[in-house]
Amino acid sequence: MDILLICLAILLTVIGLAGCIVPGLPGPPLNFIALLMLQWAIEPFSGTFLLIAAVAVLIVSVLDFLLPVWIAKKFGASREGMIGSIIGMFLGMVFPPVGIIFGLVAGAVIGDMIAGKSIGDAVYSGFGNALGTLFSTGFKLMVSGFLTYYLLKEVFSYFAG
């Protein structure tokens, strides 16, 4: 049973890392669930570690929703530009990760132009939209990377001895 849980935790960790980049997959929460699965299997973590990990996942999950919108607003993005960036990001998933970023920017620019902005203002807010999303993705990758490191460290330790 332990081996099955360990394998599922590793699989969930890989999916969690992918979820940091692929829209719609909650990366850090999946990594945290993987930690809990490993904890259930072999109990390698302290309660304090799990609490800190949970708080980090909660903070980065909230930032994932707020940071892109806040930065896009600072760059003057319109409502239409933000909707366009979301549509463009999903369409860009055909060619990840470059397509996601290009789709996000193109969608934001098109949306802002539909809202009546000049091309210069639309490109500027599109850049802000992409910047916010990249920062958010970076924070998710950092937290998921740390959780992955500790999970794999414990898995290797378990099998090594």
CA distance 56 to 149: 15
Predicted local confidence at residue 63, as pLDDT: 93
Question: Tell me: the pLDDT tens digits for 23-62?
Answer: 788 999 999 999 999 999 999 999 999 999 999 999 999 9
Question: Tell me: the pLDDT tens digits for 139-160?
Answer: 999 999 999 999 999 999 999 9
Nearest to 81 by CA among 54, 52, 49, 113: 113
- What is the pTM assigned to this prediction? 0.86
Contacting residues for 5 by C-beta, under 8 A, at least 6 apart: 37, 38, 40, 41
User: Of the spans 20-24, 30-34, 103-107, which averages the highest pLDDT?
Assistant: 30-34
Q: Would you state the structure tokens that stand for residue 106, as one six-digit string?
A: 């193109």
Residue type for 121, please? Answer: D
Residue type for 71, please? Answer: I
Question: What residue has token string 């319109």?
Answer: 78
Predicted local confidence at residue 112, as pLDDT: 93
Predicted local confidence at residue 7, as pLDDT: 96
* Virtual torsion, Cα 117, 122, 124, 125, nearest 10 deg: 90
Averaged pLDDT for residues 66-89:
90
* More confident site: 20 or 96: 20
Residue type for 105, please? Answer: V
Q: Would you state the structure tokens that stand for residue 157, as one six-digit string?
A: 């330790």
CA distance 82 to 44: 43
Predicted local confidence at residue 24, as pLDDT: 81
- Is residue 97 over pLDDT 80? no
Q: Would you state the structure tokens that stand for residue 33, as one six-digit string?
A: 């669930």
